[in-house]
Structure 1
Amino acid sequence: MNVLRFELKKAFQSPVVSILIMLFLFFNFWLIYKHAGIREELKVTNQLVERFGYKIDSEMSAKLQDYYQSKLQKMNKLTNEKFGKTYERAGDFFAEYEHRNKELSEEELHVITETAIVESYYELIQKIDQTYRHLDLSQNAKMDIKGYGLSGKTAEVTREYYIKLKNRLDELIEAGEHKNLFFIGYVYHMHSFLFKDLMRQMIFEVMILVVLITGHVTTYEFQNQTCLTVYASKRGRKLMLDKLVANLFASLCICAVILGATLLVYFLVFDYSGLWGIPISSFFNSEFSFPYISWWKLPFGIYLSCVLVVFIICQLFFTVITYSIAVWIKNNYLVYAVFAILFGFCVLIPGIIPKNLTAIFWTRYTPFSLILNPHLWFIGWNVFTPKKYEWTTTVIWTCLLAIATVVTFLKFNKEQID
């Protein structure tokens, strides 16, 4: 236990680690702050969910219509008093009087803004069935084949992929997963902000810290010329196993600090209190003409949990990869360089494979490729996000890295230390 404590002390004793943690948290908080201007508008969604529930049906739609009409009447009373004019739609006010907003008090502007948001929900609800009725996934298959230049077997794999996604879409529509209130995606882009901008930023921040710490701890004795003394001690070469455990624990600590602090601030700023049980495949979560279609029914809370699990697993993979490199190289600066080269190679290799070879798909089953698009985890988006992609990658690399770790340790036990 004392050995592990000393190894963990090495991991966090460097001021560089503390400075980077503070710097990364500042970047994360600043990103949240820049997006925080919409938090008051987002509260309207929670108010609607609290008033009507999040499940959209004919009864809920009728109640929302009555509520919207009452809000519009209140708004028109205000605009008539202020400008001598009424509007059929709240959106028409902003189109016509955007430059005159300063003539309204903050409270008055809030009344009109809230009416416009409720109006957006009411109008979008009327378009849900039509939107999903016109989805043609065969066209998506053709666009993927043409856009990525696929041919032969890869083109056939793409067509099969969209057949499976179409089956999932039919299941989703039948269950009504898409008919649930959520933040309006094409306006606020909250899914992209949380899972693409913020989550991907945190992934790379933690990865940098994990690689720095693991390289430093694993090569510490070789860098400080104490390896002959340390590895001749009672604990001997088993110390390298202690280092692996310490590195994994340190990585979990880094994940806890960066994820915990950032997400705590995020959810304090943005209110998701009534939205945790809403399926991620909600029509309102859509940010583009093609909606998000999760491979399983995943409420937002469960989806977030799955993303965090994959996040942590990937960081543990990076820890073991860095550890294995460090045991072989024994120079922390070279370890960082080799890791960077490996990262670049794994990301670039799928792009140089001929488009008619199925290797273009399976070479993407790496944690390096996986972390590039956390906003598409567990979601069918294109042929490169297949069902079980995340878990398949996890299983494959767990086996590969377990073998690599055993080979690395056996090699270290037999080599001459000098």
Structure 2
Amino acid sequence: MRLKMWGGRSLFGYELKKLALSPVIVGFVALCIVFNTLIAIASYNPVDSDDETEAVDIFENFHTSEIAEAYIRKYGITDAYAENIRSKYDKLQPVVDEKSANGDALSTYFAKQTHYRHNFLFETLFMAIIAESCLLALFAALLSVTYEQMRGTEPIICSSTVGRRILMAKLCASLTAAAALTVVIIGVSLLVFFLRFDFSGVWKDNVSSMFNSAVNEYGKPFITWRSFTVAGYLWATIGISLGLAVCFCLLGYAVGVWGRSGYGAFIAAVSAVGVMFLAKPLLPIGSVFRGIWNLTPVWLWKNSGMWFTDGGADIVWANFEIAGLFASLAVLSVAAFMASKWFKRSELH
């Protein structure tokens, strides 16, 4: 059913316009783009990628169990926690064997500059982009659902012919604004990045090139659960990034509806994010509970440089980013639905 304002205007269009023209939202997007531009411009960009270096199949006779045992020794992991890590790397062995058969490691990529350029794009820049997009989505939802309450017009709106149906329009507008503005931030940021760093010759190279290495672990190969070209890995990263922005939009919506007060909702949202961030270090490495915590939106962002890879000792399941994204979307969608149901039955003050 199409929702209309009393003046005949689409509720969705009205709510979307409020967000799109909000000085806070527009200013935040502009600051994000400026910040990301500075990151790209100020970065080191060596001209010589030394692409004459001979490539070697590092996955030939490679044993993933060695990675597992190295983690177990490093962190002193024992019992079931150690078996969780061994189990993951046992499942990774056929993947590595297939990479060897396909010659994934023989891609030159950027040769000796591969680790720096890959990490700069997929960890440094994308961590900034994802954080900005998620904060923007969170603020957009909070602003939308608390707008009338902060201005004291909520009782008037809810007693009109529009009534409490306005919440659905607010949710749709928030999701649309979050997705659209995330695309803007990603698009402009990547445009600036690729004007500075020429990737035109490496799009078809494999990200598991022998010259690449795992994030923050220079000696470990960059092992993905499926074969990715640089272009494919970029598109997959963009997809998960958009999904995370949607997660934070749903979080902002649910907290905003339940919190009612604009300031109270903001504090509740920050508290929820803080709990997700701070609780994980209290859980044992290799445990299922710590693995589950890595599926939360905050830790999906924190581990974004390891998406689609075996991850570190913290990660106990393959494709954790996909599992985490769908689990987060499911949980937060239920939270948003329950918040809407609660609002329809609650008394307004």
Q: TM-score, normalised on structure 2?
A: 0.90
CA distance in 1, matches of 2:280, 2:75: 12
Secondary structure, in 3 states, of the residue corresponding to 1:290? strand
Question: 43, 48, 64: which one pairs with 1:41?
Answer: 48
Q: 1:140 to 1:252 in 2, by over 3 A?
A: same
Per-residue Cα deviation, 1:19-57 (whole angstroms, up to 9, x for no partner): 22222111111111122632x435xxxxxxxxxxxxxxx
RMSD over aligned Cα atoms: 2.0
Q: State the 1:237 CA deviation.
A: 0.5
CA distance in 2, matches of 1:398, 1:211: 14
Structure 1 segment 347-358 matched on structure 2, within 5 A: 347-355=277-285, 357-358=287-288
Query: Partner of 2:11 in structure 1?
Result: 3
Query: Partner of 2:5 in structure 1?
Result: none
Query: Partner of 2:291 in structure 1?
Result: 361
Q: State the 1:188 CA deviation.
A: 5.7
- Give the partner amino acid of 1:143: A
Contact 1:150 1:356 in 2 (8 A): yes
Q: State the 1:139 CA deviation.
A: 3.0
- Give the partner amino acid of 1:229: I
- Give the partner amino acid of 2:48: E
CA distance in 2, matches of 1:241, 1:19: 26
Q: State the 1:341 CA deviation.
A: 1.5
Contact 1:162 1:383 in 2 (8 A): no
Q: State the 1:161 CA deviation.
A: 1.2
- Give the partner amino acid of 2:243: I
Question: 181, 185, 194: which one pairs with 1:258?
Answer: 185
Secondary structure, in 3 states, of the residue corresponding to 2:45? helix
Contact 2:294 2:300 in 1 (8 A): yes
Query: Partner of 2:276 in structure 1?
Result: 346
Question: 378, 383, 391: which one pairs with 2:322?
Answer: 391
Q: State the 1:283 CA deviation.
A: 1.3
CA distance in 2, matches of 1:323, 1:316: 10
Contact 2:290 2:314 in 1 (8 A): no
CA distance in 2, matches of 1:133, 1:7: 57
CA distance in 2, matches of 1:147, 1:367: 27
Structure 1 segment 218-229 matched on structure 2, within 5 A: 218-229=145-156
Q: State the 1:186 CA deviation.
A: 5.3
Q: Unaligned regions of 5+ residues in structure 2, if any?
A: 1-8
1:29 aligns with 2:37: yes
Q: 1:161 to 1:185 in 2, by over 3 A?
A: farther
1:236 aligns with 2:163: yes
Per-residue Cα deviation, 1:291-330 (whole angstroms, up to 9, x for no partner): 1011001111111111101000000000001100000111
Structure 1 segment 173-184 matched on structure 2, within 5 A: 173-184=100-111
Query: Partner of 1:112 in structure 2?
Result: none
1:20 aligns with 2:25: no
Q: 1:143 to 1:186 in 2, by over 3 A?
A: farther
Question: 147, 151, 156: which one pairs with 2:78?
Answer: 151
Q: Which has the higher helix share?
A: 1
Q: 1:364 to 1:36 in 2, by over 3 A?
A: closer
CA distance in 2, matches of 1:245, 1:149: 48
Secondary structure, in 3 states, of the residue corresponding to 2:95? helix
Per-residue Cα deviation, 1:116-146 (whole angstroms, up to 9, x for no partner): x25xx33x43xx24x4457543332122223
Q: State the 1:348 CA deviation.
A: 2.3
CA distance in 1, matches of 2:206, 2:114: 19
Question: 313, 321, 340: which one pairs with 1:409?
Answer: 340
CA distance in 1, matches of 2:322, 2:114: 32
Q: How many residues align?
A: 337
Q: 1:355 to 1:312 in 2, by over 3 A?
A: closer
- Give the partner amino acid of 2:260: K
Q: State the 1:280 CA deviation.
A: 1.3
CA distance in 2, matches of 1:238, 1:284: 55
Query: Partner of 1:92 in structure 2?
Result: none
Per-residue Cα deviation, 1:362-406 (whole angstroms, up to 9, x for no partner): 222111111112121001132434312112112212221222122
CA distance in 2, matches of 1:152, 1:178: 34
CA distance in 2, matches of 1:156, 1:279: 31
CA distance in 1, matches of 2:115, 2:278: 32
Q: TM-score, normalised on structure 1?
A: 0.76
- Give the partner amino acid of 1:256: V
1:140 aligns with 2:70: no
Q: State the 1:285 CA deviation.
A: 2.7
3-12 vs 351-360, greater mean Cα deviation: 351-360
Contact 2:84 2:286 in 1 (8 A): no
Contact 1:317 1:367 in 2 (8 A): yes
1:328 aligns with 2:255: no
Q: State the 1:355 CA deviation.
A: 4.9
Per-residue Cα deviation, 1:317-366 (whole angstroms, up to 9, x for no partner): 00001100000111222222222221121122222124574212222211
Q: Which has the larger radius of gyration?
A: 1
Q: 1:247 to 1:374 in 2, by over 3 A?
A: same
